[in-house]
């Protein structure tokens, strides 16, 4: 996380870029991210990014241009109303705290110049953005009535008060004598822990690094006096005043780090959302699967009913009147042991025979239907397994978007609001090989479907991991028979993009003319015959 010292250097490097610039547009792409497009900031960093995410709280010039929602948030609309068209007149940090105030001047509806301040409180899970004018809050991203957060009220029309800062002070205006007066009677307390509780702006890592450079990295507070503390403060001030990188490099590194972190977070968030949708449906189907399996197991009692019905039928001539039960020889077993057969005393033996056979046929018909539904259900479960495998293997935003479209088409995700944009071409991986050979690799079911049933010719070779979900790989070899090396390369790609390369495994391959669509019609599902199997060793 960016600490106050790093933010101090970041603000000084960014200030010249935005001072005097006009707020052209404000976006709120995510709950904890605000993007200000500043006219006059230059082409290199046209946007000011404000992140309140506890994992990466920052305000810095950036190049990231995230997707925006179709409908802006209420807070975004209020910011647009008050700040768009305004001029940035100051960007100021409060000491070394992660509190940054951005003052913007604009004209109101009456043509009067007003000055509004955007207070950025970048304090981890307590972060907030508050818009203030003349000391009163206009709006805040997070609103708190008094007592909710324990120390202040954050509501429109209330007086703005800065958050508490734990009485920490800047090392620039703290003396060794003042620090010595704060020493506790705990000689074993580490110097780093003591200083961090009283100095603004330092993370544990940055303060430890500075103390290491000052030669006091492992020291405790034992034996410290005002003179030694003044020497330490002087060393800390000197090192803290030196930016970790030149201004241009600092901006570039921060922008690169944040963009990398943000894109990684978006991928993980996207994967998690799609995985939850697939898992939710998979759990429903597996619950149904258990019910059908139970019905199939119960059908095993059907044979017992049939045997009893046939033995009764064969012995009707021996049975006189209505009986509660009979014991007859079981001629289905050696030595014909006696078999007790319960009867409904209200019915004649002949009617009891019919009732046994009726129950038998009912159970067997139920078993037949359950087995049919079970086969369909297991096909859907296999399909969802392939979707989840694609989600796990996805490394690009475009791949996740394709999987999202697939889940929407299958009714497993709600269709995105707003007018649907024209779907871009599928992001199929294409590897060109010597002698005009080409490998096409599907990384999700929509790509698999396109490769297998749109791009393939009858004599192309088709590869898939054996008995499991995974990528379809197509080898187009310009009409020539592929050699062993080429076949194994394609097989390894099938393992790699199915997440199994490290462990190795079996890969089936056949010509496309032996591959056909699965009767379920689900994307990416196929049946194949006339195949061979190769064993590819893992890379571990």
Tokens of 418: 């707003």
Which residues are CB-contacts of 510 (< 8 A; sequence separation ≥ 6)? 461, 462, 528, 529, 530, 531, 532
Which residue(s) pair with 96 in the sheet? Answer: none
String of DSSP letters for 171-203: GGG--HHHHHTT--S-TTSBHHHHHHTTBSS--
Enter the pTM of the model: 0.75
Q: Which residue has the tokens 């007003």?
A: 114
Give CA–CA dist 389/471, Å, rounded: 9
Give CA–CA dist 502/496, Å, rounded: 8
CB atoms within 10 A of CB 372: 11
- Sign of the alpha-carbon torsion through 286, 290, 291, 296: positive
CB atoms within 10 A of CB 484: 8
Please state the φ and ψ torsions of residue 438, each to the nearest 5 degrees: -140, 135
Helix H segments across 394-512?
397-409, 445-450, 484-496
Which residue(s) pair with 58 in the sheet? Answer: 51
Give CA–CA dist 63/257, Å, rounded: 11
The tens place of each residue's pLDDT in the chain, 540 residues long, gives 689 999 999 999 999 999 999 999 999 999 999 999 998 877 788 899 999 999 999 999 999 999 888 899 999 999 999 999 999 999 999 989 999 999 999 988 788 899 999 999 998 888 999 999 999 999 999 998 875 555 688 999 999 998 877 778 888 888 999 989 989 888 889 999 999 888 988 988 999 999 999 988 888 988 888 999 999 999 999 998 898 899 999 999 999 999 999 999 999 999 999 999 999 999 999 999 998 888 888 787 888 899 999 999 999 988 888 999 999 999 999 889 999 999 999 999 999 999 999 999 988 888 888 888 888 898 889 899 999 999 998 888 888 989 998 898 888 888 765 445 566 678 899 999 988 899 999 999 999 999 999 999 989 999 999 988 999 999 998 778 999 999 999 999 999 999 888 889 999 999 999 999 988 888 888 999 999 999 998 875
- Sign of the alpha-carbon torsion through 135, 139, 144, 149: negative
Give the closest residue to 409 by CA, choosing from 443, 385, 434, 383. 383
Give the closest residue to 485 by CA, choosing from 435, 424, 430, 421. 435
């Amino acid at each position: 996380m960016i600490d106050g010292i790093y933010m101090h250097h970041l603000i000084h490097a960014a200030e010249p870029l935005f001072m005097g610039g006009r707020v052209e547009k404000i976006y709120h792409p995510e709950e904890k991210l605000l993007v200000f497009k500043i006219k006059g900031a230059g082409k290199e960093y046209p946007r000011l990014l404000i992140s309140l995410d506890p994992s990466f709280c920052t305000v810095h010039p950036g190049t990231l241009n995230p997707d925006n929602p179709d409908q802006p948030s209420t807070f975004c609309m209020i910011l647009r109303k008050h700040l768009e068209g305004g001029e940035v007149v100051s960007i100021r940090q409060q000491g070394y705290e992660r509190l940054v105030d951005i003052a913007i001047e604009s004209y109101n509806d009456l043509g009067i110049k007003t000055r509004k301040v955007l207070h950025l409180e970048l304090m981890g899970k307590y972060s907030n953005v508050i818009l203030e004018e003349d000391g009163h809050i206009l709006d805040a991203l997070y609103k708190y009535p008094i007592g909710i957060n324990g120390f202040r009220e954050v509501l429109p029309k209330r007086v703005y008060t800065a958050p508490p800062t734990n009485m920490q002070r800047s090392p620039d205006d703290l003396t060794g004598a003042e620090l010595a007066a704060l020493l506790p009677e705990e000689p074993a307390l580490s110097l780093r822990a003591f200083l961090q509780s009283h100095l603004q702006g330092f993370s544990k890592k940055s303060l430890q690094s500075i103390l290491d450079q000052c030669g006091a990295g492992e020291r405790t507070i034992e034996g410290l006096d005002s003179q030694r503390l003044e020497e330490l403060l002087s060393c800390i001030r000197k090192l803290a005043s030196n930016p970790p990188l030149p201004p241009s490099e600092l901006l570039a590194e921060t922008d690169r780090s944040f963009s990398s972190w943000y894109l990684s977070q978006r991928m993980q968030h996207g994967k998690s959302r799609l995985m939850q949708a697939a898992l939710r449906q998979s759990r429903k189907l597996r619950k149904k699967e258990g019910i059908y399996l139970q019905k199939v197991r119960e059908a095993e009692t059907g044979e017992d009913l049939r045997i009893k019905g046939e033995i009764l039928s064969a012995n009707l001539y021996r049975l006189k009147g209505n009986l509660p039960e009979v014991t007859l020889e079981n001629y289905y077993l050696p030595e014909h042991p006696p078999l007790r057969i319960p009867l409904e005393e209200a019915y004649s033996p002949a009617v009891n025979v019919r009732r046994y056979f009726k129950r038998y046929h009912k159970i067997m018909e139920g078993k037949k239907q359950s087995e049919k539904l079970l086969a369909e259900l297991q096909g859907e479960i296999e399909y969802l397994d392939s979707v989840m495998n694609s989600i796990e293997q996805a490394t690009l935003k475009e791949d996740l978007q394709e999987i999202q479209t697939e889940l929407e088409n299958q009714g497993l995700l709600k269709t995105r609001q707003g007018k649907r944009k024209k779907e871009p071409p599928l992001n199929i991986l294409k590897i060109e090989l010597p002698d005009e050979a080409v490998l096409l690799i599907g990384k999700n079911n929509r790509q698999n479907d396109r490769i297998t049933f749109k791009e393939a010719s009858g004599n192309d070779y088709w590869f898939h991991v054996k008995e499991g979900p995974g990528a379809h790989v197509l080898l187009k070899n310009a009409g020539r028979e592929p050699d062993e090396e080429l076949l194994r390369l394609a097989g390894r790609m099938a393992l790699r993009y199915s997440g199994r390369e490290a462990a190795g495994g079996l890969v089936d391959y056949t010509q496309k003319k032996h591959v056909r669509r699965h009767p379920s019609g689900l994307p990416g599902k196929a049946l194949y015959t006339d195949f061979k199997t190769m064993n590819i060793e893992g890379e571990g």
